[in-house]
Chain A
Amino acid sequence: MKSAVIQFPGSNCDMDAVKALRALSDGPTDLVWHSAERLDEYDLIVIPGGFSYGDYLRAGAIARFSPAMRAVAKAAEDGRLVLGICNGFQILTEAGLLPGALRRNESLQFRCGMVGLTVENAATPFTSAYRAGEVVRIPVAHGEGNYFVDDAALARMEERGQIVFRYAGGHNPNGSVSGIAGVTNERGNVLGMMPHPERAVHERLGSADGAGVFASIVDSWRGQYAVQ
């Protein structure tokens, strides 16, 4: 399995994602500058957290026009896996690869700390290592994580199992519609989430629960390429 972590000007969680993947993935991980036009060789593409282009105009609005994002759209179309974390989630919604939009936190405060997440759908390539309904501890760090979709879109997403993570126990840190912390596209091969699984891959970091996301991805890749 070959992974890429896309680095934009202003990315700052790129190395955390690279290190998590190098520890937990099954195969090489490359840090790839956003000017890359081809990403055909990668089974997994991670859009990391940070403040691409200084969050100018809107978070993710400018990064979505990077050449690498055209290659990411192609990967999504091909059915390969794309994981957007925090600013990566914002970029994927701006690019239209995920539904909805991320607004300023309701509290207007930057929220940084460990949160509980309920795994709403454990039947995705990103969450198969968890049990449905399980609560996991993964940190958030964002000022604009307040997820919005209209009621009609939300109902459709619920029906198709696109809501993958919700903030647990009614502790919604940002005002997201329906407590949503992570969603997939309709096909289920693109996941965006505000919490940072790459920051919770070892007990020394306060939680190892985020490792499940990477373990799930590796499992899914093995399942896909296993000799029948």
Chain B
Amino acid sequence: MNVLAKIYVTLKGSVLDPQGAAVTHALHALRYEAVQDVRIGKYMEVTLEADTRERADELVRGMCDQLLTNPVIEKYTFELVEAR
């Protein structure tokens, strides 16, 4: 089956996010005073073929650990959707 992996990469909580801080300031300047914090991450879509959902899960985890994220500063979550 074809699987679409929707992967969300974010900075670990302990890592400062200068882009997020700049966007927070810009939103405050636009009078969105309700904004408390912005963290900027990445969203990736990977389409792959796998026999089972478990196999797709294993493959995506491998890709995230090896290339798609840097475990020193980033963490990730993903969801798998059956694609046509």
Partners in one complex: yes
Binding site for B on A (CB under 8 A): 57-58, 61-62, 65, 93-94, 100-101, 103-108, 146, 148-150, 175
Interface residues on B, range: 10 to 19
Please state if A93 and B72 are interface contacts (CB–CB under 8 Å). yes
Q: Is the CB of A103 within 8 A of B15?
A: yes
Collect the chain B residues with CB atoms within 8 Å of residue A94's CB: 70
Tally of contacts, chain A with chain B, CB under 8 A: 34
B18 within 8 A of A: yes
B67 A175 Cβ-Cβ under 8 A? no
Determine whether B68 belongs to the interface, using a CB cutoff of 8 Å to chain A. Answer: yes
Query: In the complex, what residues of A have CB within 8 A of residue B18's CB?
Result: 103-108, 146, 175
CA separation between A109 and B45, bound complex, in Å? Answer: 29
A35 to B68, CA, bound (A): 22
Q: Which B1-37 residues have a C-beta within 8 angstroms of A?
A: 14-16, 18-19, 22
Which B residues are CB-close (under 8 A) to A93? 72
- Among B16, B67, B72, residue most surrounded by chain A Cβ atoms (within 10 Å): B72
A106 touches B16 (CB 8 A): yes
Q: A100 to B73: give the CA distance in the assembly, Å.
A: 8
Please, how many angstroms separate the alpha-carbon atoms of A106 and B21 in the complex?
A: 9
Query: Which of the residues A57, A108, A148, A149 comes within 8 Å of B67, measured between beta carbons?
Result: A57
Sample 8 A-B pairs with CB under 8 A, ordered by A number: A58-B70, A93-B72, A101-B72, A101-B73, A104-B19, A105-B18, A146-B18, A148-B73
**Residue of A with least CB distance to B68:** A57
Q: Is the interface of A mostly helix, strand, loop or mixed?
A: loop
In the complex, A34→B58 CA distance in Å?
30
A200 to B22, CA, bound (A): 33
A108 and B22 alpha carbons, distance in the complex (Å): 8
Beyond the given pairs A101-B73, A105-B18, A148-B72, 14 more chain A to chain B contacts, judged by CB atoms under 8 angstroms and listed by A's residue number, are A57-B67, A57-B68, A58-B70, A61-B67, A62-B67, A94-B70, A100-B72, A103-B73, A104-B18, A104-B19, A107-B18, A108-B18, A146-B18, A175-B18
- Could you tell me the distance between the alpha carbons of A105 and B22 in the complex, rounded to whole angstroms? 12
In this complex, what residue of A is CB-closest to B67?
A61
With a CB–CB cut-off of 8 A, which chain B residues contact A100? 72
Determine whether the beta carbon of A148 is less than 8 Å from that of B15: yes
In angstroms, Cα B19 to Cα A146, docked, is 13
A150 engages B14 (CB within 8 Å): yes
Q: Which residues of A are found within 8 Å of B16, using beta-carbon distances? A: 103, 106, 175
Interface centre among B14, B15, B73 (most CB of A within 10 A): B73
Give the CA-CA distance A210 to B73 in the complex, in Å. Answer: 30
* B window 38-84: CB within 8 A of A: 67-68, 70, 72-73
Is A61 a contact partner of B70 (Cβ separation < 8 A)? yes
